[in-house]
Each structure stands twice: as C-alpha cells, then as structure tokens.
C-alpha cells in the first residue's frame, strides 16, 4: 500500500511540527542529512507528465528508501522503501514557508513499507540540478531514413528484338531487366541509441507498354539467347497495332526493418524504385503473294 501526500493549507500546520522533531521514519541517516530539520542537498529534478520528480544523490539516506525493494537483512520497522519524491515548487513554499537555505524547495515523499507516516514529512532540498534531457527517438522515423539509404536504381531495360530495332505487330516481344538489378539490398541508419536496418527484396517488375496496357512480371524476366531458339519466357508482350510507344519498367521491392536500442520492426510494404524508359517503334510486316507458274 502506498501513502499519499496531501499538501493543502489545512495540513500545513500538521507538517511543520513534524520537521522540528526527529522522525523515526528517516532514522537510518547515513548520508549526512540532518533529519531533525528534514533537509537534503544535491540530486536531480526531472519533469515527467507535468510532475517534477526529485532523484536523491546516489548513496544518500534519501536514496536508500527510494529503492523499490526493502533493504536486505533484518527488516527495520521504521524504514520505508519504494519512495518517490515529488517537488512542491513555489506554491508549496508559499504555503509552508522557507525550510532552509535558498534557493530550495519542498519535496514530498510517497513511500511503502512499515516505516510509512501518512503523510510523510516533507524535505527541504537545495542544490538539485535539472536532469539531462532524454531525446525520445521514434524507431519508425529512423527506419524511414534507412530506406532512403537503400539506393534503389532504375533497371536497365532489355528486349528481344532489341529496343533499337522495330518490333512487329502480332509477334511477341521478350521483356527482361538486367539481372544485376534483381538482388537484395540492406542499409542502416542511427539516431541517438536507436539503429535500424532496412532490407529490400525485389518482388516484381511492372511494364507500362505505352499503349494503355501493362504487364506484371514476378521476376526479372528471361534473357533471350539466339543459341536457344526454342526457349520460352513468362514475361513478354504483343502489340496490336503499329506506332511509337514509350515503354516504362518499374521494379518494386518488399521492404522490412529491424531495430536495436528500441522496440520495433516490421513490414514497410512495397516500395517502387525509379522507373526506366525506352522508346519503341512497332511496325507491321506486309506479305506479298506472287503467283507461280504461267499466270499473268
């Protein structure tokens, strides 16, 4: 059970007399504080959710009851533990008065254990310093920075027939990208104590054929080789009419991330790399039938 501190003006008259006598709750004074006057010096002040907390100097008798567990050895019925210390600020000083050297302020303990007084006597603290600010880093933001370091590059477009040669209406054109583009990428980024690693795995290539149609290939495509005339491909397109078309190839990556220094990690979904483009001319091949034999 935790005792709660109440500091309205109605209890100020009760608190002040406690400070003029020796408090058995703080009898284990090994840090040099004068418990008769309930004073302390040093430590740090930290603002959390709008409340200012005091952390006593390490090794002081005020730090001992601040531990979450009771002291080892034979229990002391007059020794509280699990104490937190809340600074009262100027309003508490205005209500209770000055308790010692200035600048200083009243700090109110809230404790557990057998030595608890309800309310615990306040402490006049001087020389406390603001704690160094702790920068909270969002690991997702750091992961986004890692993704920017992946270095996605536009794929090199390959075709058969080659893009510099006319394609034929009604004849399939093989499509593929240079195999070197189809590889896993990793990159890391750090901010404060947090380091994230992004991993990008190539997933698909989307071809915009320039005539309103698209082709989605679940791999880089199969390079055409004249030495294998009977080979097949699962990534090709057949134009339906002649014209000049702007063909665009976009490689998509599945991106995941992990983090150290903070909880986090997961899937960032598909990320598109920069597109590659090439102009293609499509023509029709005309066949001329000529009669054989003695026809005119």
Given 130, 154, 189, the domain boundary residue is 130
Within a domain: residue 192? yes
pTM: 0.55
Query: At a CB cut-off of 8 Å and minimum separation 6, what does 22 contact?
Result: 35, 36
236 inside domain? yes
- Same domain flag for 263 and 144: yes
Residue 262 has pLDDT above 90, yes or no: no
Mean pLDDT estimate for the chain = 81
* Residue 59 predicted with pLDDT over 90: no
Of 249, 258, 276, 262, give the one whose Cα is nearest residue 147. 258
Instruction: Return the pLDDT at 66.
Output: 78
Same domain, 164 and 263: yes
pLDDT at 133 over 70: no
- pLDDT confidence tier of residue 33, bands split at 50, 70 and 90: very low
* Structure-model confidence comparison of residues 5 and 244, the more confident one: 244
| Domain membership flag for residue 296 | no
Residue 17: domain span: 9-130
| Structure confidence at residue 163 as a pLDDT band (50, 70, 90) | confident
Residues 93 and 189 in one domain: no
Q: Are residues 187 and 235 in the same domain?
A: yes
The upper half-sphere exposure of residue 229, i.e. CA atoms within 13 Å in the direction of its Cβ, equals 0
Q: pLDDT band at 239, cuts 50/70/90?
A: very high
Place of tokens 């990208």: 177
pLDDT greater than 50 at residue 35: no
Q: Is residue 290 domain-resident?
A: no
Euclidean distance between the first and final Cα of the chain, in Å?
A: 116
* pLDDT computed for residue 167 by the predictor: 92
Model confidence at 117, in pLDDT bands (50, 70, 90)? confident
Percent of the chain beyond pLDDT 70? 80
- Clarify whether residues 149 and 263 are in a common domain: yes
Question: How far is it, in rounded angstroms, from Cα 167 to Cα 174?
Answer: 10
Q: Does position 185 have pLDDT exceeding 50, yes or no? A: yes
**pLDDT at residue number 83:** 86
Q: Are residues 146 and 181 in the same domain?
A: yes
Among 162, 160, 164, 163, CA closest to 174? 160
Per DSSP (E only), the strands in 6-117 are 39-41, 44-48, 51-55, 81-87, 104-112
């Amino acid at each position: 059970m935790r005792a709660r501190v109440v500091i309205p003006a109605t209890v100020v008259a009760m608190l002040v007399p406690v400070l003029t006598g020796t408090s058995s709750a703080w009898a284990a004074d090994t840090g040099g504080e004068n418990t008769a006057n309930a004073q302390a010096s040093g430590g740090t002040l930290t603002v959390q959710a709008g409340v200012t907390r005091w952390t006593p100097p390490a090794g002081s008798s005020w730090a001992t009851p601040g531990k979450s567990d009771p002291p080892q050895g034979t229990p002391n019925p007059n020794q509280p533990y699990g104490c937190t210390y809340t600074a009262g600020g100027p309003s508490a000083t205005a209500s209770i008065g000055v308790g010692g050297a200035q600048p200083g302020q009243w700090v109110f303990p809230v404790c557990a254990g057998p030595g608890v007084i309800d309310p615990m006597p306040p402490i006049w603290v001087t020389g406390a310093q603001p704690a160094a600010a702790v920068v909270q880093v969002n690991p997702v933001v750091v992961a986004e920075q890692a993704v920017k370091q992946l270095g996605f590059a536009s794929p090199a477009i390959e075709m058969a027939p080659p893009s510099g040669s006319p394609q034929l209406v009604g004849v399939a054109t093989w499509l593929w990208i240079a195999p070197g583009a189809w590889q896993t990428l990793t990159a890391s980024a750090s901010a404060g104590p947090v380091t994230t690693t992004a991993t990008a795995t190539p997933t698909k290539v989307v071809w915009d054929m320039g005539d309103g149609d698209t082709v989605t290939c679940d791999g880089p495509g199969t390079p055409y080789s004249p030495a294998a005339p009977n080979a097949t491909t699962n990534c090709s397109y057949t134009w339906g009419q002649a014209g000049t078309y702007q063909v665009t190839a976009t490689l998509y990556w599945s991106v995941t991330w992990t983090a150290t220094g903070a909880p986090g990690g997961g899937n960032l979904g598909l990320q598109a790399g920069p597109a590659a483009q090439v102009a293609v001319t499509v023509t029709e091949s005309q066949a001329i039938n000529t009669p054989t034999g003695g026809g005119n």
